[in-house]
Amino acid sequence: MSKYTGLSMRVIVLSGLLIALNIVLTSFLAIPGVISFGGFPIIFGGIVLGPIAGGIIGAIGDVLSFIVRPSGTFMPHFTLTSALTGIIPGIMVRLLKVDFERPSLWKVLASILLGQTITSVIMVPYFRNILFGHPLWLTMTKAASRQLLNIPLYSVVITILLRVLSRAGIIDLVNWKKNKNL
């Protein structure tokens, strides 16, 4: 299968684990509209495994979360935002040339900030407005206030995880950087 997708078996297996974590965090360990850490595995996957894997993790995680715990009608708009949640930080860490062995907190923060601002603060409220009639500025304000906690928290945790996993040799980040498909 990996010869068709350009993704190694290691990336596929880790993506599956991150998808499962996304489903658990989104479906069972979240208070809808208040707090959810379901975006963390998507962002982590996009940064560590690459933007393609991050997009796949986000899209599949969104669809499977809906299947496991449906809430209303399925809306592909939100699947797009979930995919972009992994794609944007994955692209940004590569453009900013983040050294995964000694990651800069500011580069990781900037990558996550851009991705979360586009997806969670702009796109999701916009889609909620056009699909359900929710007031745009109110939902954008609430989303932005939630991201004031999530973005720094995700950035610190991902920076620490990158350092620890790199030092422990659990994730061979050097070989992943050489893979052009990531």
pLDDT tens-digit map of 66-100? 999 888 889 999 999 999 999 999 999 999 999 88
pLDDT band of 35, cuts 50, 70, 90 = confident
- Show Cβ contacts of residue 13 under 8 Å, excluding neighbours closer than 6 positions: none
* 29: number of Cβ within 10 Å: 12
- Percentage of residues in the chain with pLDDT exceeding 70? 86
Whether the per-residue pLDDT at 179 is higher than 90: the answer is no
Range with the largest mean pLDDT of 65-69, 155-159, 172-176: 155-159
Class for domain 2-178, per CATH?
mainly alpha
First to last CA, the chain: 16
Contact 112, 43 (CB under 8 A): yes
User: How many angstroms separate the Cα of 100 from the Cα of each of 4, 16, 162, 172, 174?
Assistant: 27, 22, 6, 10, 8
Residue 180 pLDDT class (50, 70, 90 cuts) = very low
Element (H, E) at 54: helix 51-68
What is the spatial distance between Cα 151 and Cα 156, in angstroms, rounded to a whole number? Answer: 9
Task: Say how many CA atoms lie within 13 Å of 120 toward its Cβ.
Answer: 30
Burial class (CB in 10 A: 0-12, 13-18, 19+), 37: middle
User: How far from the centroid of its chain's Cα atoms is residue 86's Cα?
Assistant: 4
Confidence at 175, pLDDT banded by 50, 70, 90: very low
Categorize the per-residue pLDDT at 7 as very low, low, confident or very high, splitting at 50, 70 and 90: low
The domains of the chain are located at 2-178
The mean pLDDT of 30-48, rounded to a whole number, is 85
Nearest-5° angle of CA 167, CA 182, CA 36? 75
